[in-house]
A and B are shown apart, each in its own frame.
Chain A
Amino acid sequence: MAIRVLKPGLFTTIQDLGRPGYAHLGISPCGAADPLSLRIANRLAGNAEDTAALEMTLLGGTFEFEVDAVIALTGSLCDARLGGLQAPANTAWKVTAGSVLQFGSMQTGARCYLAVQGGFDLPVIMGSASTDVRGGFGGLHGRRLQAGDLLPTRESGAGNTRVLRQGALERLAGEGPIRVTRGAQQDWFGPEAFETLNSCAYTISDLWDRAGLRLKGEALHSLEPSQLLTDGIPLGAIQVPRDGQPIILFVDQQTTGGYPKIASVIAADIHRVGQLRPRQEVRFREVTISQAVQALREQKGLLQEIFE
Chain B
Amino acid sequence: MLAREGNMKIVDASDSSLLLGFGDAISPTLHSRVISLFHALQARNHPGIRNLHPGYSSLLIDFDPLQLDHKGLAALVEQMADHPGPSIAGESVVTIPVCYDAELGPDLPDIAVKAGIASEEVIRLHSSAEYLVCFLGFTPGFAYLGGMPETLHTPRLPTPRKTVAAGSVGIAGSQTGIYPVSSPGGWRLIGRTPLRMFNPESRPPTLLQPGDRVKFTPIHRRAFDELAAREWA
Are A and B a genuine interacting pair, yes or no? yes
User: Contact residues of A with B, CB < 8 Å?
Assistant: 20-29, 125-126, 132, 134-138, 142, 181-184, 186, 226, 229-237, 254-257, 261, 264-267, 289, 292-293, 296-297, 300
Contacts of A23 in B (CB 8 A): 51-53, 62
CA distance in complex: A256, B144 (Å): 11
Contacts of A300 in B (CB 8 A): 66
Q: Would B210 and A132 count as touching, CB distance under 8 A?
A: no
Q: Would A292 and B15 count as touching, CB distance under 8 A?
A: yes
Within the complex, what minimum Cβ distance (angstroms) separates B58 from chain A? 4
Q: Would B181 and A236 count as touching, CB distance under 8 A?
A: no
List 8 A-B residue pairs with CB atoms under 8 Å apart, sorted by A's residue number: A26-B142, A134-B181, A138-B200, A184-B13, A229-B55, A232-B53, A233-B53, A292-B65
Q: Which of B25, B53, B56, B137 neighbours the largest number of chain A CB atoms within 10 Å of its CB?
A: B137
Q: Would B140 and A26 count as touching, CB distance under 8 A?
A: yes
Q: Does B101 contact A (CB under 8 A)?
A: no
Q: Would A234 and B16 count as touching, CB distance under 8 A?
A: yes
Given contacts A26-B137, A137-B140, A229-B25, 9 further A-B contacts (CB under 8 A): A22-B205, A24-B210, A25-B205, A230-B135, A234-B16, A235-B62, A255-B53, A256-B137, A293-B66
Q: Does B29 contact A (CB under 8 A)?
A: no
CA distance in complex: A236, B14 (Å): 8
Contacts of A233 in B (CB 8 A): 53, 60
Interface size on B, residues (CB 8 A): 51
Q: Does B232 contact A (CB under 8 A)?
A: no
Q: Would B57 and A229 count as touching, CB distance under 8 A?
A: yes
Contacts of A21 in B (CB 8 A): 50-51
CA distance in complex: A229, B173 (Å): 13
Q: Would B135 and A20 count as touching, CB distance under 8 A?
A: no
Q: Would B11 and A184 count as touching, CB distance under 8 A?
A: yes
**With known contacts A22-B205, A25-B204, A183-B14, A293–B57 Cβ distance under 8 A:** no
Q: Would B200 and A126 count as touching, CB distance under 8 A?
A: yes
Within the complex, what minimum Cβ distance (angstroms) separates B205 from chain A? 6
Contacts of A183 in B (CB 8 A): 13-14
Q: Which of B16, B141, B209, B210 neighbours the largest number of chain A CB atoms within 10 Å of its CB?
A: B16
Q: Would B58 and A261 count as touching, CB distance under 8 A?
A: no
Q: Would A293 and B14 count as touching, CB distance under 8 A?
A: no
Within the complex, what minimum Cβ distance (angstroms) separates B158 from chain A? 16
In the complex formed, the residue of A with least CB distance to B204 is A25
Within the complex, what minimum Cβ distance (angstroms) separates B180 from chain A? 8
Within the complex, what minimum Cβ distance (angstroms) separates B38 from chain A? 7
Q: Would A134 and B66 count as touching, CB distance under 8 A?
A: no
CA distance in complex: A300, B66 (Å): 10
In the complex formed, the residue of B with least CB distance to A238 is B14
Contacts of A254 in B (CB 8 A): 137-139
**With known contacts A135-B198, A297-B66, A24–B52 Cβ distance under 8 A:** yes
Within the complex, what minimum Cβ distance (angstroms) separates B25 from chain A? 8
Q: Which of A22, A126, A261, A265 neighbours the largest number of chain B CB atoms within 10 Å of its CB?
A: A22
Q: Would B140 and A235 count as touching, CB distance under 8 A?
A: no
Q: Would A134 and B19 count as touching, CB distance under 8 A?
A: no
